[in-house]
Structure 1
Amino acid sequence: MSVTHEKPLSKSFDTAQAARATEMARETLQIEADAILALKDRVTADDGSFAQAVGLLLGCSGRVVVSGMGKSGHIARKISATLASTGTPSLFVHPAEAAHGDLGMVTENDAFIAISNSGETAELLAIVPIIKRMGAKLVAMTGNDASSLALLSNVHLNTAVAKEACPLNLAPTASTTATLALGDALAVALLDARGFREEDFARSHPGGALGRRLLTHVRDVMRSGDAVPRVAPEVSLNAALLEISHKGMAMTAVVDPEGRPIGVFTDGDLRRMIEQVQDFSKIVIADVMHPGPRSIGPDQLAVEAVEMMEQHRINQLLVTDGDGILVGALHIHDLTRAKVI
């Protein structure tokens, strides 16, 4: 039986090659960092084009449509996604598909960002005259002030770089990084100009941790109805302990005849009592409860309940309505399960 040996997937990687790879990484990062820093100086010293672009996009009553081919297209998708998630309605349109029907996504109320390092991308130049004719404003992001796209634009943002990080100075590397960074700068400037807040960000990111923290209310996670442990002030301590055991919250609320909490008794209180009291049979819960229990409203944010628990070093919190009536209860574990913590 013959045995075949598979060829190795890659050549051996010796110490010299490893050192060369590390040096290439350092050089790439330095070139791209320099490209971004050059943009910073350019934005500061330019003719006000960046501010003009922000003003144009801010005044847009429609959406910001972003487009580009190839690597510029990938950058355009990311810029559009960042704009959309930070308060500026945006979508990506592929320029080649736009020429075959997708241009119908663009309206006269929109602003159009065309991205091309050369400024001469044929697919963009084929649709830009139509976009301008319908009345949409054009922001061009190119590496050439004298390019066709730059000259056709209402505002041109120069993304030119001294050189690409690619040793051949061919593959888009530093230029795409610079364009992406400038797109982020646009998004952040627009975010600030719109007064976009954490709550606004949470609404567009309901599945993320921030969304859960800022959109989850106490009523969404509290226990209610029969799940809330409660006893009258005149019941025995033994009866209160049964309520604690049955409801599994390690505490019980003590409520008056109208349902307003006047006290609370916890497992911790019980452990401290065991050291001093032998016979619980004659103890009334009102005599050993903590009066004036902490409470929170059902419409407050769940994160506020977390802050209150941490501040007062407690694991449970009562929930009361506007009239002070007990309507629910929270345990720290409820907030953990809801991923508010």
Structure 2
Amino acid sequence: MNRNITTFFTINILLGTIIAISSNNWFLIWIGLETNTISILPILLSNNNRRNTEASIKYFIIQALAAAIILNSALINVWNNGSWIINTPMNNVSSITIIIALFFKLGIAPFHFWFPEVINGINLTNGLILTTWQKIAPTIILINNNNNNSNIIIICTTISIIIGSWNGLNQTQTRKIMAFSSINHLGWIILISMFNQNISIIMLLIYIIINTAIFINLIINNTTNISNTNKNNITNPWNASTLSILLLSLGGLPPLTGFINKFISLNTIINSNNTIISIPLIIGSLISLFFYLRISFNTNLTNFPQNSIILINLRNNNNNNINSILNTISITGIIITPIIINFIN
């Protein structure tokens, strides 16, 4: 795709998200979401192959369906209350359908069936966009509009945490693992927004930073399968160590940065006298940590026989600048975790 065209669509993606999260009018929110969806499709289709085209069509159908549900639900609310304002009290039908539509956009269970297949059908760069930037607008809208039907949100997000953890166990494709990881973490973020919206925003920011660093690492080494992660330790030891730290951080292993998400989540739920809800969250967190550990094991603790001459040549082709940036992010995360926890408390 032409560079100017790519820049144009990228700017539209940014504007669509900004319009959606900064508006208090349902019609403007719908326009922002549609602008975002229409602009991302040409970028997804830039790689012309069957799997990529199939994934793009699936993504378009789901996003168009969700946007249509949001617009129709907003129209029903306008007929009843005469207002497009997002804070206007909504009837149960409109509120439930809008929540379901946003769950479709986010890939929250039981509306997650499309997300892993779409992520697995596109390249790693587009997967990074779909699992980070494309999640911002629906998440912020849902956080600002979760006052009603709290039981539905709690049930769906809890199921999402369990399903995202359980289905990631038998995956070998790194893109599918990151897709189920996204389903799991967004369940945490949306659930905590029921109790404290500010903490939910902090969790979203931390998740985006860690997830972006992991995808950058995978893109640099073209790692699409768990079996390929082993070559990182041979060709790029520093990068392999960084990937392990980032994955364990995403899994919530203390004292890494991702532990903040799990710590403040459980602390918020327990302080709200909802200890029972924390039980499936802890179970899901432990299950998801298993497949993060499996990738880390394959990256650093397993070595296959290799030709020593090939090893020397490959090690001389390292991208030291990018490795230094990734290692700095990881080490900084380890250092600032206790500081952030003390600041929150």
Classify the TM-score, shorter chain: under 0.3
* Larger Cα-atom Rg: 1
Q: TM-score, normalised by structure 1?
A: 0.22
TM-score, length of structure 2 as denominator length = 0.22
Name the one with the larger helix percent.
2
